[in-house]
Chain A
Amino acid sequence: MTFIPKPKLHHPDLQKNALGLTRRDYEGPVSTLCAGCGHDSISAAIVKACFELDIEPHRVAKMSGIGCSSKTPTYFLGASHGFNSVHGRMPSVATGANLANKDLIYLGVSGDGDSASIGIGQFAHAMRRGVNMVYIVENNGVYGLTKGQFSATSDKGAKSKRGVVNSDEAIDLVGMALQLGATFVARSFSGDKGQLVPLIEAALQHKGIAFIDCLSPCVAFNNHEGSTKSFDYVREHNEALNALDVITGRPEITVDYAPGTLEMVMQHDGSVLQLRKLHQSYDVHDRVAALTYMQERAAAGEIVTGLLYVDPNPRDLHAHLKTVDKPLNALDEMALVPGARALDRINAGLR
């Protein structure tokens, strides 16, 4: 049996959100990933973010490709439709789904193999089209499901569990997303819930393509000495830019960071992102500066995390295509079928 349901016992004192739902209502069946996998922490962060934002689970469509990361949508939001598609092609499926119904929330979960290797083309085109979705790459720098081969985000010089040293340059998805016009770009770490949950919340409220590169150590194949994606390595080299609160008109979400300089970012849907800047000079609205800063810190051996860039007034693919307000999947014959008289006119023009 490879499907493990969770017992439906709810503790009576579990906290409820505005919809009267508890955290448990946002969970799925028990994860079959390795114990301690960073991906499970990301799933937990997604559960927490959706719960805290009072999102109706069934209004979320979970999209994924193939790989360990792509299996995770089974383990959260059990009341949502999910689509585990083919390797590296989640972006196109999510794009099509989004075209069909603009009213749902699209949550894409992918991995570094799925997005940076086989799927790098689709990743790039989803970014440049501005599909209104959250796109999370659970980045562990390794192929877990096929037992430990390097991925395209493995750092040059990183050592695999078998002792092989990677000689290829790493692909930086964050840099690509910035260059390709993504309107929300962030990086985080699965072990930093305080940073990750608000980032996911902000991404869920962003009306455009919201990309989060989430470093997520692989406990089985990439958590050893010499790995640059291990828990210890990332903790030691993490350079957090800012901390984020998301204000939606509900009681404030408490975070663990000490307040620094505050910057308020009003999103298109009225939600407010409250940035506590750890680096005073960093401008979250400057795409070019973001790229430069990231590259500078990377050269110094640091991994920059936090919200790197956000466009407060993004335009998404539907805006570009000028689609009607009603979801395309809800249009009836009246809107779609021109009818017999129109066809007669076409016939007449073809003689």
Chain B
Amino acid sequence: MLQVVDRIEGLQRVNDFVVKFANVNGSGSASANALFAKAVLRMGIAATPRNIFPSNIQGLPTWYEVRISDAGYLGARGGGPDLMVAMNPQTWDQDVRGIEPGGYLFYDNTKPMPESKFRSDVVTIGVPLTRITNAAYSNPRQRQLFKNIVGLGALSALLDIDPTVIEQLFSEQFKGKDTLIQPNIKALHMGRDWAQANLQCPIGLTLRKSESVGDRIFIDGNAAAALGAVYGGATVCAWYPITPSSSLAEAFASYCARMRVDKATGKNNFAIVQAEDELASIGMVIGAAWNGARAFTATSGPGISLMQEFIGLAYFAEIPAVIMDVQRSGPSTGMPTRTQQTDLTICAYASHGDTKHVLLIPEDPYECFEFSALSFDLADRLQTPIFVMLDLEIGMNERLTKPFVWDDSRKMDRGKVMTTEELEAGAKFGRYLDVDDDGIAYRTYPGTHPTKGAFFTRGTSKDRMARYSEEGADYQENMERLLKKHRTAATLVPAAIETKAARPTKFGAIYFGSTSPAMSEADEQLTAEGVSLDLLRLRAFPFGPEVEAFIEAHDTVFVVEQNRDGQMRSMLINELEINPKKLAKIVHYDGTPITARFIAGAIGQYVNIDKVVS
């Protein structure tokens, strides 16, 4: 027996709602879910999907959540979904419980369910997906795969998605395997026709063609960073698989296969080595960069922990190295498939002894591409490790982002490298001589000149001419020069970006990385509530003078971040000698992406208490 649509008044929303798919692993649902998100985007409506998955391959539940927001909000909204596509019996109870009041529950009603399994304040939409597909297909694999497409067809009728958009996506997806196109279209319409014949379509949640996508592209941050490494001239990639960074190295391999194979010889203008561990990965990167190649590794927190000793060597011996850290929840194995901004201090001060490193912090895939390409110039220019700080939220989720741009006149900045000709002409070479008063000395590549310019690279202390020395004065001079170099770095990294409130305000908020879309949305909410905030988005460490000026100009500055201890706040206090009381800690670290609701709530609460007190 069919269960009919419950006639309670459901939410009425156009182009502004959240759909969540509860998946059964191994059922092929991922591809149908991605098609749904793409269809929304092709209708010109901004949408942001997120994979929610445990550290497991098969057998544990996963979800796919799509926030549709014609207003362009790309951060996670928070709260429950407005439409739950509940395909996983294992998570049924929690899925039903999570739906927003007045929301919709879409499910396969082939097998009847007891009434106690439903909610009275949620619109229930039952579609007999298994029965429809079993009647149409006999092959078990086809039944499984096409059930997802039949479901997508039913959803397209319920949400008023233009079916030709999905048909077009089929023809792109199966290009070269054309025989698959028609069966998919048929399954789509099977679901669509059933819904139109048996249910009231559309429901209160509908999609209408729009222009909010514009010319933006849709890509995940890991792929964007990998592409940035191709454009940045990286030739050596050494890596060790670790979630959530593995897809970065894999994307680099696939972009290289497309764009870095020498046409005349069929040989590779790159070398990618899957190392035996993270220690070997960073060792290879350092060896390659020492020898004049642009090299990088991609890793996550546990890998950074393992690389500490080598990072100290690269800092002290002044060797360029690019480390892409796709952060996840720590410590230890932590929550490997959940997002956090939790490696800030371990990267900024990596290794034993006094160190300070350069971090670049992208907010979205566009900046992942930009900063990745830039990191190789900075590494060569500064002769030091450069960290590109992604996180799982940016790295592993496809996101709408500005199209990538490249200026063909751009040249790689290889930094201060003394050439054979310069050595031959008698240029004075001392590996650690601060000739330009910027803390950066000249280096030579091995093999440059028969008699001049050779030096010994070591992790032990040395004098300006790279000779082993344990003299206190030599050691200290070197350490001071490294500090000077770090100050030079502050002038070369991307500056923080300030967004001023419409009215003068004593409140500021500092944020960075994947917090960006949630922060912008929270700011709008707070403004509507009468709370004005000036915003400063950090894009790098060390901090430029604009950061200190911003904090100086406000009475209270909220530092919004996704870790427990307020690591960026500590770094601001530490580096700029700020009174800690001035910096209010707003932290979100449960492993889910930070939301506008959370930020607006936390700041709103603080401001109201502040009002009461003052």
Contacts and interface: CB of A to CB of B under 8 A. Distances in A.
Given A96-B287, A101-B293, A84 B459 contact: yes
Contacts of A44: none
Contacts of B444: 81
A10 B482 CA distance: 39
Interface in A302-351: 317-318, 321-325, 328-333, 335-340, 342-344, 346-347, 350-351
Interface residues of B, number: 74
Contact of B458 (A84, A104, A335): A84
A345 to B, nearest CB: 10
Contact of B235 (A78, A91, A328): A328
Nearest to B401: A350
Interface stretch (B55-63, B197-205, B447-455, B552-560): B447-455
Contact of B268 (A85, A100, A321): A321
Interface stretch (B241-249, B276-284, B491-499, B590-598): B276-284
Nearest to A74: B456
Interface string B302-345: 00000001100100000000000000000000000000000000
The CB with the most chain A CB atoms within 10 A, among B235, B269, B272, is that of B235
A144 interface: no
Contacts, number: 234
Interface residues of A, number: 64
B284 A95 contact: yes
B445 A329 contact: yes
Nearest to B172: A349
Interface stretch (B95-103, B466-474, B503-511): B466-474
Contacts of A61: 291, 446-447
A268 interface: no
A88 to B, nearest CB: 9
Contact of B283 (A74, A96, A344): A96
A333 B233 contact: yes
Q: Which applies to chain A's interface (DSSP): helix, strand, loop or mixed?
A: helix
Given A96-B238, A125-B280, A337-B233, A329 B454 contact: no
Q: Which applies to chain B's interface (DSSP): helix, strand, loop or mixed?
A: loop
B268 A351 contact: no
B284 A99 contact: yes
Given A81-B447, A343-B404, A86 B231 contact: no
Contacts of A54: none
B227 interface: yes
B271 interface: yes
A92 interface: yes
B5 interface: no
B283 A335 contact: no
B134 interface: no
B405 A343 contact: yes
B173 to A, nearest CB: 12
Contacts of B271: 99, 318, 321, 323, 328
A97 B283 CA distance: 9
The CB with the most chain A CB atoms within 10 A, among B291, B410, B455, is that of B291
Contacts of B412: 332-333, 336-337
B236 interface: yes
A247 interface: no
B290 interface: yes
B206 interface: no
A340 B280 contact: no
B287 A95 contact: yes
Contact of B449 (A58, A124, A332, A342): A58
A245 B113 CA distance: 85
A85 B283 contact: yes
A2 interface: yes
Contacts of A121: 276-277, 280
Interface in B259-302: 259-260, 262, 265-273, 275-277, 279-293, 295
A172 interface: no
A227 B320 CA distance: 44
B459 A86 contact: yes
B21 interface: no
A335 B262 contact: yes
Given A84-B457, A96-B285, A339-B408, A328 B270 contact: yes
Given A84-B458, A324-B262, A344-B403, 19 more contacts: A57-B450, A58-B454, A82-B454, A84-B456, A85-B457, A92-B281, A92-B282, A96-B289, A97-B288, A100-B293, A121-B276, A122-B276, A321-B271, A322-B266, A324-B268, A329-B445, A337-B230, A339-B408, A347-B403
17 contacts: A3-B468, A73-B456, A74-B456, A81-B455, A83-B287, A86-B313, A91-B280, A100-B236, A100-B291, A101-B446, A101-B447, A328-B269, A328-B288, A329-B291, A331-B235, A337-B230, A337-B406
Interface of A: 2-3, 56-59, 61, 63, 73-74, 78-86, 89, 91-101, 103-104, 121-122, 124-125, 129, 317-318, 321-325, 328-333, 335-340, 342-344, 346-347, 350-351
Interface of B: 215-219, 227, 230-231, 233, 235-236, 238, 259-260, 262, 265-273, 275-277, 279-293, 295, 309-310, 313, 403-408, 410-412, 444-451, 454-460, 467-470
Question: What 10 pairs between A and B have smallest CB-CB spacing?
Answer: A96-B287, A92-B283, A100-B293, A96-B284, A329-B292, A81-B446, A100-B291, A96-B288, A93-B287, A350-B217
